[in-house]
Amino acid sequence: MSEKLWQKGYEIDKLVEGFTVGRDYIVDMALIRYDIVASTAHAKMLLKMGYITQEEFHGIGSALEELSDLIEQGKFQIKPEEEDCHTAIENFLVQKLGDTGKKIHMARSRNDQVLTALRMLYKDQLKQIKEAVEDLMKAVGNFSKRYAKVTFAGFTHTRKAMPTNFRSWATALRDALKDDLKLLSVVYELIDQSPLGTGAGYGLPIPTDRKLTAKELGFKKIQRNPIYTQLSRGKFEYLILHLLSQITYDLNRFASDIIFFSLPDIGYIELPKELCTGSSIMPQKLNPDPLELIRAYHSVIVSRMIECSMITSNLITGYHRDLQLLKEIVIDSFQDVKDLLAVMKKVFEKLRVNRISCFNSLTDEVLATQRVYELVKQGVPFRDAYRLIAKELGGGEK
């Protein structure tokens, strides 16, 4: 029979139980592997401190390896009544090892336990995001090389403005992504602090070796203040979502550009059919749905960032169950952004530039500013040259 880690001999109301557990038992399947690794490191620390014997340590290690194998084979699922991965792991250990399994929770709380697993997951996900951004930057760079010198009319106010080229346009996205990677490195550095050993936010009443577990788990350092360790849950999630929103912001803007540039009436860019969907009623339609979804997902990520901020604001120091709701939105956001980056990479690999449409866009008014500066080079004051060309083209100041 599954037992909750907080069980005190009474039965919780079933409606309340289901409500408080929510989807945690499902979401935590993404966390359980990290919690197993952290539990192994924790057991090693308990052995060093003399809280468990060598025999008990080996028993715990073997049982955790068995559990990890079952998960890899798809033969283990967290039960709703277990609430989360932490309870599921301890119940498995108790089932296998009896009283020895009950010792694994010594010198830790579910609070620092979940923080540790989450940060390990976050670090892995940030590495994957970094790789996906770099892959996109390579695709953008290759596109830039292919069409570097193709010149076309740029826009301001959605009206033709001045000539530019696809090297400048593509490099703008690449430079934006470079800045995103700088922000990612800052967020990663903050997350790369071990919370294990801070308990429920007020430290532990027995000695532990936090440096040992931090080293075992690959954290750069330990997060020392136990109260701030708890307070950083929510703060760090907000920073992650802010980072992701900056990436999606850039993808949003360039998705809009590609949609606009590929309009048949403009035609700078051609989207191959395999990147488009069709209409159920209009046979001629090829719709840039993937790019529209990339554009829309930016709002989804921003809304989750605001959701994170609203959930965690106005809470006093210490843990609150409100924080449970952050896990799913952050995990989902990582996957969404990885998908967006992969799709945008595919778009840049397959985009084609219509050189004729680009050339035809360079009409007289687009070259007006260049003509102004040709007069300036001849000694005509800028404002006089500006007005002369404006009058010649039949327009006023814009």
pLDDT at 2 over 90: no
Looking at residue 6, what is its pLDDT? 46
For residue 389, which of 381, 375, 48, 377 has the smallest C-alpha distance? Answer: 375
Provide the pairing of β-strand 221-222 with 269-270: unpaired
4 falls in which pLDDT band (50, 70, 90)?
low
Rounded to whole angstroms, what are the CA distances from 397 to 307, 393, 394? 44, 11, 10
Looking at residue 281, what is its pLDDT? 79
Looking at residue 14, what is its pLDDT? 83
* Kind plus residue range of the DSSP H or E element containing 321: none
Looking at residue 132, what is its pLDDT? 98
Query: Which residues, other chains included, contact 37 with Cβ-Cβ below 8 Å and sequence gap of 6+?
Result: 120, 217
- Summarize the chain as % helix, strand, coil (round to 5): 70, 5, 25
Domain range 14-106, CATH class = mainly alpha
Contact between residue 89 and residue 66 where contact means Cβ atoms under 8 Å apart: no
**61 vs 53: CA distance, rounded Å:** 12
pLDDT at 195 over 50: yes
Rounded to whole angstroms, what are the CA distances from 215 to 41, 222, 227, 348? 9, 9, 22, 41
pLDDT at 1 over 60: no
Tokens describing residue 18: 């289901």
Provide the pairing of β-strand 221-222 with 193-194: parallel
b (16+ CB within 10 A) / e for 46-73: bbeeebbeeebbebbeebbeebbeebee
111-360 shares the fold of 14-106: no
- pTM (predicted TM-score): 0.92
pLDDT at 7 over 90: no
For 189-255, give the DSSP string. HHH-EE-TT-TTTT--SS---HHHHHHHTT-SEE---HHHHHHHHHHHHHHHHHHHHHHHHHHHHHH
Share of the chain above pLDDT 90, in %: 87
Task: State the CATH architecture for 111-360.
Answer: Up-down Bundle (1.20)
**Mean pLDDT across 284-294:** 89
pLDDT tens for each residue of 70-129: 999 999 999 998 989 999 999 999 999 999 999 999 999 999 999 999 999 999 999 999
How many helices (H) and strands (E) the chain has is answered by 14, 6
Q: Where are the domains of the chain?
A: 14-106, 111-360, 364-393
Longest dimension (CA), the chain: 93
Chain centroid offset of residue 356 CA: 39
**146 vs 125: CA distance, rounded Å:** 32
pLDDT at 29 over 90: yes
For residue 69, the 8-state DSSP code is H
Q: Which residue type does 164 have?
A: T
b (16+ CB within 10 A) / e for 246-283: bbbebbbebbebbbebbeeebbbbebeeebeeeeeeee
pLDDT tens for each residue of 199-248: 999 999 999 999 999 999 999 999 999 999 999 999 999 999 999 999 99
